[in-house]
Amino acid sequence: MTPAQHRSIPLKIAIYALMTALGAVFIFPFLFMLASSLKSNDAIFADLASLRAVLPIGALTGENYVHAFARGHIGHYLANSVVITGVTVALGLVVNSLAAFALARLEWRGKQAVLTVLAVLLVVPFEAISVPLMQLVAKLPGLSLGVDGLVLTRSWLDTLYVQILPFIANAFSIFLFYQFFRDIPKDFDEAAYVDGATPLQVYRHVIVPSSLPVFATVTILQALAMWNQYLWPLITVPGEAARPLMIGMEQFFGARRTAWGEVMAYASLITVPVLAAFIFFQRWFVRSVIGSGVKG
């Protein structure tokens, strides 16, 4: 081992120690939530002064989860959130990737103007347009599934699609796709066009297989954003029928005496599926980066 390598050992130890400490800081609330979801209120407060607060030890119970399902309507709210997130992400991948394909791989008049508008939209916070957007969707007619079948409604408010349609096209997702598509060599496109392919065929058979990493990235980001939606459903979904999990948690927290074990159980049921999905797509993303090998 060289002297330079000897000198680098203390630095590496310090870096790993710092990373471990930061990891502990970030994982502590998650462990506390999981452990508390299995304890009674008295046990939660009794363990706060020790490391038992983040460890699932002592008198553990699953009643908090039973009560959360029975009193919190989690099953209904969970189904709504799954539909909202799944449909928005699926349609968003198609719409945003096609828009980015047109911007990055095709030549047409007005493309630079569209790119400018896209860049402007990236810096506009959603809170700035939420109220005008809510006033717009409140006047749009739609369809609702009733006892007698599909019924025409006078407003999008209090529906599932008011939480889906405004978020399918996303400026940030288009920008991510655009940046990735732009770096794929255009020789692939030209070879496909020589063989008689159409632009849609180039998109489907050339661009999409070469862009699995960015598809995974957009899936993760958009799914997390839709799953954690709070402001928009708060102002557009006053009823329970289309209410997502986040708004349901607020109702569950405020409508009854605070039972912290049940609140932590509700929060765990929201967090664990998202964390599991994120870990799954993260591993798939790494495999896609290694396997695609065409971005250059």
Over the stretch 230-266, which tens digit does the pLDDT of each residue have? 999 999 998 888 899 888 887 777 655 668 888 888 8
CA atoms of 24 and 173, how far apart (whole Å): 32
* Selection from 16-30, 59-73, 82-96, 180-194 with the highest mean pLDDT: 82-96
Question: Considering the entire predicted model, what is its pTM?
Answer: 0.82
Structural domains of the chain, ranges and CATH numbers in brackets? 1-61 (no CATH), 68-125+157-292 (1.10.3720.10)
**What count of other Cβ atoms lies within 10 Å of the Cβ of residue 91?**
15
Sequence-distant (≥ 6) Cβ neighbours of residue 118 within 8 angstroms: 103, 171, 174, 175, 178
Categorize the per-residue pLDDT at 4 as very low, low, confident or very high, splitting at 50, 70 and 90: low
SS3 content of the chain, % helix, strand, coil (to 5): 70, 5, 25
Phi, psi of 40, rounded to the nearest 5 degrees: -80, 170
**Of the candidates 120, 96, 132, 72, which has an alpha carbon nearest to the alpha carbon of residue 253?**
72
**Of the candidates 236, 228, 224, which has an alpha carbon nearest to the alpha carbon of residue 165?**
236
Angle at CA of residue 153, ends 151 and 83, nearest 5°: 80
One-letter amino acid for residue 245 of the chain: L
What does the chain come to in residues? 296
Categorize the per-residue pLDDT at 285 as very low, low, confident or very high, splitting at 50, 70 and 90: low
Categorize the per-residue pLDDT at 3 as very low, low, confident or very high, splitting at 50, 70 and 90: low
**pLDDT (mean) for 48-77:** 82
Over the stretch 183-215, which tens digit does the pLDDT of each residue have? 888 888 889 999 898 999 999 999 999 888 889
